[in-house]
Copies of this chain bind each other. A is one copy, B any other.
Amino acid sequence: MTDMIIKNTRPMAGPKADIRIKGGRIAEIGPDIAPQGEPVEDAAGALALPGFVEAHTHLDKSLIGWPWYHNDVGNELLDMIANERAVKKEWGIDPHVQSMRHALQTVAYGATVIRSHVDIDTEGKLRPLEGVMKTAELLSDVVEIETVAFPQSGLMIRDGTTDLMDQAMTMGADVVGGLDPCGVDRDPKGHLDFIFNLAEKHGKPIDIHLHEPGEMGAFSMEMILDRTEALSMAGQVTVSHAFCLGMPDPVRVAGLVERLARNDVRIMTTAPASSEAPAVMQLREAGIKVGAGNDGIRDTWGPYGNGDMLERAKFIGLRNNFRRDTEVALAFDVCSTGGAEAMNVEPPKLEVGARGDVVVVKGESLAHAVVTHAPRHLVVKAGKVTARNGAALTEAP
């Protein structure tokens, strides 16, 4: 059923109105819309917001549904990578089952679009991607899931990974991933040449994890920009994390931001509290498309996270010292419409003609809904109710 009416709601926290969805798209927004036989949902005065966009997560990693994972791993990135491979093997984690649980929890919180990085390494091989792609297919009318082939254990430092990445793209991964060409892979030229060539070969965009801080990150970012320019890939490249944009050198950062904007490179942030991070307002003012994500949730990397993009909007607000209502609204946009624009997928919007992706959430104002990450009353994907009162209607395995 892709026709419905949401009655008695406040679109974007504005005046009360009804929303009619017809054939999966918003057909009408206004007062007192008369039903024409379609199902009617009463929002009881709650806000209607566009569907939430989880633009950076790892659906294959979460340990949701397992007993508590007692974490005593080392703090080095390579410790965590090695530990994760070991636990996955030892516990016999099924990426399909885990991605179903994780995706449906994210839907319960209001997501209608998810971009998931998926580990491609010589141990798990293509099994995680198979699992997440199966989830994407099974949930195709619940949430739009994009997959990124992600060389989590390194590309040049682990023989056989480049072949697997190529196979992953042939299998149907949507985006070519990458990871810290200096910090992890120790070969920035080799790493970046490979992923840009792979993207060109398969005609796919790129989304590269760049945790490298300060000048090292800036160096890698410049090499990414060089290739984006040389291959005319404006609008096709995303840098996730981009911690280096938070380095305390405003002139250096301004130069990078200008060049990112000129090449329409997109930035995905988690607004981390414990590291430098891009200033969201600065990026948006420069015209850069910005998305956000919860990153991995409750996995061997750390115990945090739940898939809630409203809480992520709060974290963006807290990290960026957003106090004004207009600033908090910007943080929300990054977790919804803006995130989809950064992903190059159809952006959810509360306007006639847009896809009927709507989240009904209690709240007095948009900022109020964000800072309390208030209970979700209803989640609607293309006119179909996917979650009610905080619970997904599709059962997770």
Instruction: For A317, give the chain B residue with the smallest CB separation.
Output: B304
- Closest beta carbon of chain B to A269's beta carbon, Å: 12
Give chain B residues whose Cβ lies under 8 Å from the Cβ of A317: 304
Asked if A72 and B325 sit within 8 Å, CB to CB, the answer is yes
Report if A319 contacts B (CB, 8 A): yes
Report, nearest first, the 8 A-B pairs whose CB atoms are least far apart. Answer: A273-B273, A274-B321, A302-B323, A68-B364, A273-B319, A273-B318, A303-B371, A68-B365
- Closest beta carbon of chain B to A274's beta carbon, Å: 4
Bound Cα distance from A70 to B323, whole angstroms: 10
Report if A301 contacts B (CB, 8 A): yes
Instruction: For A303, give the chain B residue with the smallest CB separation.
Output: B371
Interface size, A (range): 35 or more
Bound Cα distance from A305 to B368, whole angstroms: 11
| Contact A304-B371, Cβ < 8 Å, known A273-B319, A323-B75 | yes
Bound Cα distance from A75 to B318, whole angstroms: 14
Asked if A325 and B70 sit within 8 Å, CB to CB, the answer is yes
| Contact A71-B301, Cβ < 8 Å, known A273-B273, A273-B318 | no
- Residues 307-347 of chain A: 1 if any B CB is under 8 Å from the residue's CB, otherwise 0? 00000001101111101111010000000000000000000
- Closest beta carbon of chain B to A313's beta carbon, Å: 12
Report if A197 contacts B (CB, 8 A): no
Asked if B304 and A314 sit within 8 Å, CB to CB, the answer is yes
- Closest beta carbon of chain B to A392's beta carbon, Å: 18
Report if A67 contacts B (CB, 8 A): yes
Give chain B residues whose Cβ lies under 8 Å from the Cβ of A324: 71-73
Give chain B residues whose Cβ lies under 8 Å from the Cβ of A301: 323
Give chain B residues whose Cβ lies under 8 Å from the Cβ of A319: 273-274
Give chain B residues whose Cβ lies under 8 Å from the Cβ of A325: 70-72, 303
Give chain B residues whose Cβ lies under 8 Å from the Cβ of A274: 318-321
- Closest beta carbon of chain B to A321's beta carbon, Å: 4
Report if A48 contacts B (CB, 8 A): no
Give chain B residues whose Cβ lies under 8 Å from the Cβ of A298: 371
Asked if B323 and A367 sit within 8 Å, CB to CB, the answer is no
Asked if B75 and A303 sit within 8 Å, CB to CB, the answer is no
Instruction: For A366, give the chain B residue with the smallest CB separation.
Output: B68
Asked if B68 and A367 sit within 8 Å, CB to CB, the answer is yes
Give chain B residues whose Cβ lies under 8 Å from the Cβ of A306: 372
Which A residues are closer than 8 A to B by beta carbons?
67-68, 70-73, 75, 248, 271-275, 298, 301-306, 314-315, 317-321, 323-326, 328, 364-365, 367-368, 371-372
Asked if B273 and A365 sit within 8 Å, CB to CB, the answer is no
Asked if A315 and B273 sit within 8 Å, CB to CB, the answer is yes
Instruction: For A71, give the chain B residue with the smallest CB separation.
Output: B324
Give chain B residues whose Cβ lies under 8 Å from the Cβ of A271: 273
Give chain B residues whose Cβ lies under 8 Å from the Cβ of A71: 323-325, 367
Instruction: For A367, give the chain B residue with the smallest CB separation.
Output: B303
- Contact partner, A72, options B70, B302, B305, B326, Cβ 8 Å: B326
Bound Cα distance from A289 to B319, whole angstroms: 26
Bound Cα distance from A372 to B105, whole angstroms: 14
- Closest beta carbon of chain B to A109's beta carbon, Å: 13
4 more A-B contacts (CB under 8 A) besides A273-B319, A303-B371, A304-B317?
A: A68-B367, A273-B318, A275-B321, A303-B367
Bound Cα distance from A315 to B318, whole angstroms: 10
Asked if A368 and B75 sit within 8 Å, CB to CB, the answer is no
Most-contacted residue by chain B among A275, A304, A314 (CB, 10 A): A304
Give chain B residues whose Cβ lies under 8 Å from the Cβ of A70: 325, 365, 367
